[in-house]
Structure 1
């Protein structure tokens, strides 16, 4: 099998120096704070709903409790992201 021209295989180094196995540049796209909060909530809801559909009840209860605990512990960060806390960062 002939090697493709210019193909080096393995990881590639992007212009910013980050490595990516697929040769794609690792680009971070900043989003507003409300979008970050919404994405985290979406992930938590998906985890809870999926756990109830896929796993035994006792495991789903654990996932639900962990999701609720995450909401409690993330509250300070979410307030900071939404601009309702001081500029120094979330309160610990």
Structure 2
């Protein structure tokens, strides 16, 4: 497989990976929001806003066009893994089984397509 840093920005593989990652993140944000809304609506809003803001602010140089606060690749990887794991766990807690299965399958597909990027991220020191 070609390392992410060698893939062109407009390559179909990179676009597909980005689309799956975004869809997974949106699903995770929805599931986490619904889970926290059972406790408190303001808390749910705060958690979802934080979940969106953290990967927007902290980024690995070379992974995004602009990194507001540059971090090593493992930090970006940890943020994404936490988002995915939290989303799947929240979906199984709050969604009907078919919704949790759908988000789980989407997350697995995203992980498979993202493997080259994840391997590359583990090599970037930041």
Task: Give the unaligned 5+ runs of structure 2.
Answer: 1-56, 58-66
How many residues are paired up?
59
Query: What is the TM-score when the length of structure 2 is the normalising length?
Result: 0.44
Aligned counterparts of 1:70 and 1:41: Cα–Cα separation in 2: 11
Q: 1:34 aligns with which of 38, 49, 74?
A: 74
Secondary structure of 2:90's aligned partner: helix
Structure 2 match to 1:46: 86
Matched, 1:76 2:116: yes
Aligned counterparts of 2:111 and 2:84: Cα–Cα separation in 1: 9
Structure 2 match to 1:14: none
Q: CA RMSD in A?
A: 1.9
Task: Give the unaligned 5+ runs of structure 1.
Answer: 1-25, 85-92
Which structure: larger Rg? 1
The structure 1 segments of at least 4 consecutive aligned residues displaced by more than 3 Å after TM superposition are none
